[in-house]
Amino acid sequence: MAIRAEVDADRDSIHAVNTAAFETSGEADLVDALRAKAVPLISLVAEIDGAITGHILFSPVSLAEHPDLNLMGLGPMAVLPQRQRQGVGSALVREGLKRCKQQRCDAVVVVGHPEYYPRFGFVPASRYGVRCEYDVPDDVFMLVELKAGALRGASGLARYDEAFANV
């Protein structure tokens, strides 16, 4: 399996992976909308035997009370149903977090499964006093600090790109 940055030729495959993983085109359309306007953007694909089997996207998130912080949001992440539970998603998350750190990102937030994301260091964002703009349970809105101490005293409301409102 190879994890690499997406290229223009991957767009149709990325759309197909997201649609297959989520059973609607909502997340795939979100990826297209974010790709068109969100900066910076980290978009990675997992490739097995020349075929794209997974995709992950990281886009900017703001903490209005602390505009100096560099935060990214993980999502969507998608893996073809027949390739799930084979390490594809984990490889995408690990490489994505590594690239976020290389871009000097302070922290990454995610709305996701509380049984899955802690293995990558994610904890409930409420531990840092960070809240999600969406009405989600406390245990599904998580973050991982990539720069130790970056979030000390940085509580507030995390806001995603407006494209997320259309999902």
- Residue of 121, 119, 92 lying closest to 108 (CA atoms): 121
In the predicted model, what is the mean pLDDT of residues 40-55? 96
Share of the chain above pLDDT 90, in %: 88
Cα dihedral angle (104, 122, 153, 107), rounded to 10 degrees? 20
Q: Please write the tens of the pLDDT for every residue from 96-115.
A: 999 999 999 999 999 999 99
Q: Please write the tens of the pLDDT for every residue from 130-153.
A: 999 999 999 999 999 999 999 998
Sign of the dihedral defined by the CA atoms of residues 144, 98, 34, 2, in that order: negative
DSSP 50: T
157: pLDDT strictly greater than 80:
yes
Cα dihedral angle (81, 44, 24, 37), rounded to 10 degrees? 180
6: pLDDT strictly greater than 90:
yes
Inter-CA distances, 161 with 59, 61, 111, 121, 145, Å: 8, 7, 14, 24, 20
Cα dihedral angle (57, 63, 67, 68), rounded to 10 degrees? -70
What gap in Å lies between CA 112 and CA 163, rounded to an integer? 18
Sign of the dihedral defined by the CA atoms of residues 162, 39, 36, 146, in that order: negative
166: pLDDT strictly greater than 80:
no
Q: In Å, how far from its chain's centre is CA 155? A: 20
Q: At what angle do helices 26-37 and 11-22 cross, to 10 degrees?
A: 140
Does pTM top 0.85 for this prediction? yes
Q: Please write the tens of the pLDDT for every residue from 68-104.
A: 999 999 999 999 999 999 999 999 999 999 999 999 9
Q: What pLDDT shows up at residue 56?
A: 98
